[in-house]
Structure 1
């Protein structure tokens, strides 16, 4: 197992396959992506070697992220490769959903188990103001298609923003009444380039949690490979609500995930100052050497992200590593 000096066990890999994104979300990439080339992205053999080493070290779940992962033409083969690695029980995808309606069947055939779709508003106008894109109807049809096709887990991610969607909780809850999906509000996090935007738009998820508990929602127990969301269910709703509150007390205590960038760097924390480049270990089939390296550098993982102290590390924006 990959275990740090605080006895946290890591069985969940978030694997970024590109920094590129075709949306211009105003909380992440308001001016578009800043990467000028994609030629340094991990190759399919390198991805197989990464996932193999992590699986041998106890990883059960791989989440493919970006940027926007569906911008890679070989995404289906990446899904197939990850799912074929012995020990990997679940392959998930985080996407902005722009190709979900068209490519979902192909991804599921390759072995996709779960999908998280970013949809920061259910209102077309608000969605376009946030993302710079007008494809919300297709994205929502893709989500419905994923539910109809029986995908094991379908989740919607919405970054909670004071000026845009903070008042839309009733609409989101109504959406969940007859849809078997989980919708998670994510607290806006401060990164290296969004300080003013963060100050203006950050909303604590605690107020949403209190509303849910006051209206008959019950908090549920998370599976061991789950992400950091606190999840809630209600007997009158087919769907579930979730909250990701990185500024809450003890948020990092049960961290179970490590991040690998599209250029072969280990992000031990989303907001670490330094990242570890291990790409040289991916040039040959030698997973034992990579595992030994990971175990060594993992001892330097910090106890907390220190976001509450306004520490953002070297993370300029979340498209660098997919959140």
Structure 2
């Protein structure tokens, strides 16, 4: 079957698959008031996830990232990992987590087939960590990072959202940490969402200044691999770790887009900041529906736009990042 491709010739081999909207942190840039369910949530079942993964794998998907909310809050998270890993067409299986359950479960998840893990750590100052996340769990999360390194994950990444006036003074601490620790540190520019215009205006910090500083200090840009995300990655001969910058407001950011998103309730999102999701759930009930599901994917991709409209302040349906999976 032909690989997923949009009208601009971009090919899509990376799926970010959300498995829950629920999160137990209250990050100021995402869920400042905490998670509030609207009715009883009905997230994708294991069978539906299996059918979804099989269809995407059949049309060229080679990398899947399990996202949320906080994906590890699902009691069957290990089963989900095992299910996705069992598909031999999926070459890379990753997840993004706040690290809350990582210390106790890193080895179990690795043994189930998970190979890459991103942990959100927005500050190395425990007090600032609490201020940003709303949870006094800094030590718990850091022990989880150590557990992931010990478990043997092929890549451990740290995600840190850049926030002017909050964690923008943390760069020296982060650099000190990765000098002798083999992790990928990724700084992510704050993106405006429907619930956060005032917050965005107060705390947005462009990554360009950090990029200039890194280059001045001898960091070297690395050419991205085919399955890499949108980060601009940098390495330094004196550091074991790497640094990545995700700058969605940079010129041509969307030109190399290679990922699609499916929400925890089975909606396809062509962009994180799209106006609406396309329902797939009606075609996830049996394996016999795979052909029709693939036809729908190909058809919808022809509607994918060249770029997001963040520069115009259009944030689409995304009220907060937990609703689609970031």
Q: Match for 1:219 among 218, 221, 243? A: 221
User: How much does 1:271 deviate?
Assistant: 0.3
Q: Deviations over 1:295-315 (max 9, x none)?
A: 001100111011111110010
Q: Deviations over 1:60-104 (max 9, x none)?
A: 000000000011000000000001113001110100000000111
In the alignment, the residues of structure 2 paired with residue 244 and residue 155 of structure 1 have an alpha-carbon distance, to the nearest angstrom, of 13
Aligned match of 1:198: 200
Number of aligned residues: 323
Task: List alignment gaps of at least 5 residues for structure 2.
Answer: none
Aligned match of 2:317: 314
Aligned match of 2:104: 102
Whether the 8 Å CA contact 1:52–1:86 is kept in 2: the answer is: no
TM-score between the two structures when normalised by the length of structure 2:
0.98
Aligned match of 1:296: 299
Q: In the TM superposition, what are the counterparts of 1:172-321 in structure 2 within 5 Å?
A: 172-285=174-287, 286-321=289-324
Whether the 8 Å CA contact 2:185–2:242 is kept in 1: the answer is: yes
User: How much does 1:35 deviate?
Assistant: 2.3
Whether the 8 Å CA contact 2:218–2:236 is kept in 1: the answer is: yes
Q: Deviations over 1:219-266 (max 9, x none)?
A: 111111111100100000000001000000000001000000000000
In the alignment, the residues of structure 2 paired with residue 146 and residue 72 of structure 1 have an alpha-carbon distance, to the nearest angstrom, of 19
TM-score between the two structures when normalised by the length of structure 1:
0.99
CA-based RMSD of the aligned residues comes to 0.8
Whether the 8 Å CA contact 1:116–1:154 is kept in 2: the answer is: yes
Q: Deviations over 1:140-163 (max 9, x none)?
A: 111122122221110000000002
- Runs of 4+ aligned structure 1 residues displaced above 6 Å come to none
SS where residue 296 of structure 1 aligns?
A: helix
Whether the 8 Å CA contact 1:18–1:38 is kept in 2: the answer is: no
Aligned match of 1:87: 89
In the alignment, the residues of structure 1 paired with residue 82 and residue 39 of structure 2 have an alpha-carbon distance, to the nearest angstrom, of 25
Q: Match for 2:27 among 8, 25, 31? A: 25
1:125 aligns to 2:118 (yes or no) = no
1:77 aligns to 2:73 (yes or no) = no
User: In 2 relative to 1, CA 13–89 (structure 1 residues): closer, same or farther, beyond 3 Å?
Assistant: same
User: How much does 1:34 deviate?
Assistant: 2.9
In the alignment, the residues of structure 2 paired with residue 141 and residue 170 of structure 1 have an alpha-carbon distance, to the nearest angstrom, of 21
Q: Deviations over 1:13-49 (max 9, x none)?
A: 0000000100000011000113234541000000001
In the alignment, the residues of structure 2 paired with residue 245 and residue 102 of structure 1 have an alpha-carbon distance, to the nearest angstrom, of 33
Whether the 8 Å CA contact 2:106–2:151 is kept in 1: the answer is: no
In the alignment, the residues of structure 1 paired with residue 211 and residue 259 of structure 2 have an alpha-carbon distance, to the nearest angstrom, of 24
In the alignment, the residues of structure 2 paired with residue 34 and residue 303 of structure 1 have an alpha-carbon distance, to the nearest angstrom, of 33
